[in-house]
Amino acid sequence: MSEEKLPTRAENYSEWYNTLVQRAELADYAPVRGCMVVRPYGWALWENIQSALDRRFKATGHVNAAFPLFIPMSFLEKEKEHVEGFSPELAVVTIGGGETLEEPLVVRPTSETIIGHMYSKWIKSYRDLPVLINQWANVVRWEMRTRLFLRTLEFYWQEGHTAHATAAEAEEETIRMLNQYADFAINDAAVPVIRGRKSTTEKFAGAQHSYTIEAMMGDTRALQSGTSHNLGQNFAKAFEIRFLDESNTLQYCWTTSWGLSTRFVGAIIMTHGDDQGLVLPPRLAPIQLVIVPIYRNDEEKSAVLPVVEQVKGLLSEFRVKVDDRTEVTPGFKFNDWEMRGVPLRLEIGPKDVEKHSVMAARRDIPGKPGKSILSMENLAAQIGSLLDEVQAGLLTKATRFRDEHIFEPRDYGHLKEVVQNGWAYAWWCGSADCEAKIKEETKATTRCIPLDQEGGKGKCIYCGQPADEKVYFARAY
RNA sequence: CGGGGUGUAGCGCAGUUGGUAGCGCACCGUGUUUGGGACGCGGGGGUCGGCGGUUCGAGUCCGCCCACCCCGACCA
């Protein structure tokens, strides 16, 4: 049960986040540092994210499989950049069954290597391609600083791994899945995202290049919310993933990988949440609608409860919860479900029973303005359109917030200023040196080089050299 | 790993010059309440982070250790 007020976002954003995650019962701290327990409500949200994504993966021809948690250490070492990128954060098992292992086993930080190993066994001919496999899994990365959902030692995700006959097909796949992520984020989670390419410094260790969807959180910091990597032939060469083409020539495959994790739960919290608590997008909310019965005595109770049941029956197409707790007052329930982010609340009391109506309150519009009286006629249709309005409203609001906090700085001094409370969209010459200097001086990193560029030429915001592309700079999670 | 902080009931905290542990919330029982975070009465719950030391006596003083949180270098 929840105590009273949350810390406000303005007061202390990170405390607001931490308190909310726990109070809304999304997750809790595990006894191991940096690990989290995803509680039923949080997991239900994740399951809805999973099914929204899985649907898209299936629709684009992918199948699910499961690969082992343990990876031989030597596999990690086969791709030079990959091992350099991941070795600092590996958890390694050296003892099994009381015996020191012949070869240490890495707890997977990601599965390119072990999947690459299997692909080299499975792929012999161009007829075997493409291979389009996804897995839902947990992975472990030994991070220094952790935050619930945003960065934990162990997290849950999906990782897609594909192999193709040509570079063009691999690139097409990489972009296709990036677009699936963007579509999911925007249309199901109401999280507006910018699709873009990562700079060389920011890309995945071992990738030829990486793409990302970047979202702006309520404190204007950026969150990398999903990534798609074109691995080129790097892993194919390291793991001998080869096929015979139509003309009987042995060729290396072109592979991709793409992932989206429980971090996205954090994205939803920080995109939509307000000082009352969570605000969940109707398409993903574990509970879309809560019904709070209201009565003062047994007489009213016996009039109200049957109507509550009747309404619940009418709304069977939605995820409905009836809050029939007797130990707390309706007022408490209102606050409680608002804190938990339920998009819509129905109040049913004696007055409603009498008038054959119900009182509806939208989570995204606090107080009286968000309330409306619905007649019992076509109730399901009315609820359906209210939920659609909430869904659309969240996206509009989040998009407006983001756009209001994206600036095109005049010069470097101006950039320094705007990244304190927003993103800077500026020309960049592409040099890792300028990128590093900017990071050092402002804490802002390049988030992505957006795919949708208006073109033209400019001068690097830092060094003034000619630049072909504009990039987003922001402080990031 | 560096800097800062905190460990006392599930959570948040108090605990005086050392004298054997308390408050609020939550929890259990009960009655009155119930359209925006109800109230009364009665209860249960603690190896005071761990180990050692000083002392007749340690939550309190001393030493060592451990854990967690916050801020930095790495990351989905």
A83 contacts: CB under 8 Å, gap ≥ 6? A76, A77
Amino acid A45 CA to nucleotide B70 C1' distance, rounded Å: 29
How far apart CA A169 and CA A177 sit, in angstroms, is 12
Give the nucleotide nearest to A198 (CA→C1'): B76
Is A232 a domain residue?
A: yes
Is A202 a domain residue?
A: yes
Domain region containing A441? 406-474
CATH classification of the domain holding A372: 3.40.50.800
DSSP A147-164: BTTTB-SEEEEEEEEEEE
A146 CB closer than 7 A to any strand B atom: yes
* Phi, psi angle pair for A397, to nearest 5°: -65, -45
| Cβ atoms of residues A76 and A85 within 8 Å | no
Strand B contact residues in chain A (374-413), C-beta within 7 Å:
none
Q: Which residue is nearest nucleotide B10, judged by alpha carbon to C1' distance?
A: A1
| Cβ atoms of residues A173 and A162 within 8 Å | yes
CATH classification of the domain holding A452: 3.30.110.30
pLDDT in tens, A94-118: 888 888 899 999 999 999 999 999 9
Residue A301 and residue A240 share a domain: no
Residue A221 and residue A201 share a domain: yes
Residue A387 and residue A258 share a domain: no
ipTM above 0.90, yes or no: no
Residue A434 and residue A387 share a domain: no
CATH classification of the domain holding A33: 3.30.930.10
Strand B contact residues in chain A (77-106), C-beta within 7 Å:
85, 88-89
A437 CB closer than 7 A to any strand B atom: no
Amino acid A167 CA to nucleotide B8 C1' distance, rounded Å: 64
A86 contacts: CB under 8 Å, gap ≥ 6? A76, A109, A110, A141, A205
| Sites in chain A below the pLDDT cut of 70 | 1-4
Q: Which pLDDT score, from 0 to 100, does residue A4 have? A: 64
How far apart CA A264 and CA A280 sit, in angstroms, is 12
Gyration radius from chain A CA atoms: 25
**Residue where a domain stops, chosen among A353, A386, A402:** A402
Nearest residue to A272 (alpha-carbon basis) of A325, A340, A203 = A340
Nucleotides of B under 7 A from a protein CB: 1, 25-28, 33-38, 67-76
Q: Considering its fold, how many domains does chain A have in total?
A: 3
Residue A344 and residue A231 share a domain: no
Residue A369 and residue A426 share a domain: no
Is A145 a domain residue?
A: yes
Strand B contact residues in chain A (10-39), C-beta within 7 Å:
14, 18, 29, 32-34
**Residue where a domain stops, chosen among A351, A367, A402:** A402
**Residue where a domain stops, chosen among A237, A272, A307:** A272
CB atoms within 10 A of CB A433: 10
Q: Which pLDDT score, from 0 to 100, does residue A330 have? A: 95
Residue A371 and residue A326 share a domain: yes
Residue A393 and residue A422 share a domain: no
Is A303 a domain residue?
A: yes
How far apart CA A327 and CA A50 sit, in angstroms, is 35
Locate A273 and state its tokens: 């949440």
Residue A193 and residue A172 share a domain: yes
Torsion-angle region of A341 (φ positive above 0: left; ψ -120 to 50: alpha; else: beta) = left
**Centroid of chain to Cα A105:** 29
Amino acid A60 CA to nucleotide B26 C1' distance, rounded Å: 49
Residue A260 and residue A293 share a domain: no
Strand B contact residues in chain A (307-326), C-beta within 7 Å:
326
Residue A183 and residue A70 share a domain: yes
Is A4 a domain residue?
A: no
Q: Which pLDDT score, from 0 to 100, does residue A28 have? A: 83
Is A6 a domain residue?
A: no
Residue A31 and residue A176 share a domain: yes
Is A282 a domain residue?
A: no
Dihedral Cα A333, A337, A338, A339, nearest 10 deg: 110
Is A283 a domain residue?
A: no
CB atoms within 10 A of CB A136: 15
Strand B contact residues in chain A (249-288), C-beta within 7 Å:
259, 261-263, 276
